Amino acid sequence: MALSRRLRLRLCARLPDFFLLLLFRGCVIEAVNLKSSNRNPVVHEFESVELSCIITDSQTNDPRIEWKKIQDGQTTYVYFDNKIQGDLAGRTDVFGKTSLRIWNVTRSDSAIYRCEVVALNDRKEVDELTIELIVQVKPVAPVCRVPKAVPVGKAATLQCQESEGYPRPYYSWYRNDVPLPTDSRANPRFQNSSFHVNSETGTLVFSAVHKEDSGQYYCIASNDAGAARCEGQDMEVFIKAQGSMKALTTSGQVKRVTSDTSHPLLSETCWLGEHIQAPVWEAGHGLRGPRAPDRAGCAEAFCFGQS
């Protein structure tokens, strides 16, 4: 004997929600149900993305559709009263009746989005689903700090930092266009070096530099959205020693000046009156001694002599 409609509905109402699509001796459970083709979309910044919300079952011809954005503990409307709301207005549209398409996404669009459908003619009138959108951001050129000159045997730290990329970038260092391993001991090519690269913080630390460590260094910051590098910077490793030199003053007197290094250019000094003009660093050329004014009566290039 066929069950009455009232009895069938009463029996169906006792079934768990995940059985709502089942047929129970000819009774169709009337309830709105939603699904999504992608609950965790990942997209690069400035691309477009679709937030899929599909009605699979409903007896209501014109259900009410709402979208909300949940970010930093705040809930705001995205789609309400058949209109796009908030900062997504002008770059978001509705397709397939209930899904959203966002154009030119930005990092501020990363959030949880909730699709809510109200179908008044269904036994179960309300259903909702959430979608977590992740917007990945390409790193910008990192800021690199490389010491210009380091004595042999001393420690040195090179730094690389980037703050725009998402997910957080990882770092790699290069010397003369050759990638450096995270640990110099892991590669026979760098057996004469002693350094460690921290790919998370961007630091390159030498426990003790060697002459072979001289060269041009640069860093690359990378994540799933892309990569960016800083400009190359020179680091020179020199041999530190004690020595002296002779300098010609503007009065014509020769004076002895003590130097704390045997590096030839670090010892170059010019006396102008009672003041010493120190050597300077020129990008791409290393350390250069100062050129003396013509009135000093010094040599063409430098007014000093190594003793």
Write the pLDDT tens digit of every residue in 190-215: 988 999 999 999 999 999 999 999 99
Alpha carbon 214 to its chain's center: 28
pLDDT score of 29 more than 50: yes
Q: What angle do CA 237, 241, 247 make, to 5 degrees?
A: 105
**Looking at the predicted structure, is the pLDDT value of residue 25 above 70?**
no
Specify the residue for token string 């992608």.
38
Mean pLDDT of the region 156-183: 97
- Decide if 115 contacts 64 (C-beta within 8 A): no
Q: Which of 148-162, 184-198, 278-292 has the lowest mean pLDDT?
A: 278-292
pLDDT at 261 over 70: no
Distance CA 217, CA 232 (A): 5
How confident is the model at residue 299, as a pLDDT? 35
pLDDT over 90 (residue 182): yes
Instruction: Please report the domains of the chain, with CATH numbers, ordered by start residue.
Output: 29-136 (2.60.40.10), 143-238 (2.60.40.10), 243-306 (no CATH)
| Mean pLDDT, all residues of the chain | 80
Q: State residue 253's pLDDT score.
A: 58
Q: What is the mean pLDDT of residues 9-33?
A: 54
Query: What's the rounded Cα separation, in Å, for the pair 95 and 99?
Result: 5
Reply yes or no on whether the pLDDT at 152 is more than 50. yes
Cα three-residue angle 191-195-196, rounded to 5 degrees? 120
Q: What is the pLDDT of residues 54-92, one digit of tens each?
A: 999 888 888 999 999 999 999 999 999 999 999 999 999
Nearest Cα neighbor of 263 from 176, 150, 155, 154 is: 150
Q: What is the pTM of this model?
A: 0.66
What is the rounded CA–CA span in Å between residue 25 and residue 296? 112
Residue count (the chain):
307
Name the pairing type of β-strands 23-24 and 203-206.
unpaired
Confidence band for 11, pLDDT divided at 50, 70 and 90: low
Question: How does strand 254-259 pair with strand 156-161?
Answer: unpaired
Range with lowest mean pLDDT among 117-131, 191-205, 206-220, 273-287: 273-287
Confidence (pLDDT) at 271: 40
Least confident of 128-132, 192-196, 256-260: 256-260
With a cut of 60, say whether residue 288 has pLDDT above it: no
Q: Is the pLDDT of residue 276 over 80?
A: no
Q: Is the pLDDT of residue 246 over 70?
A: no
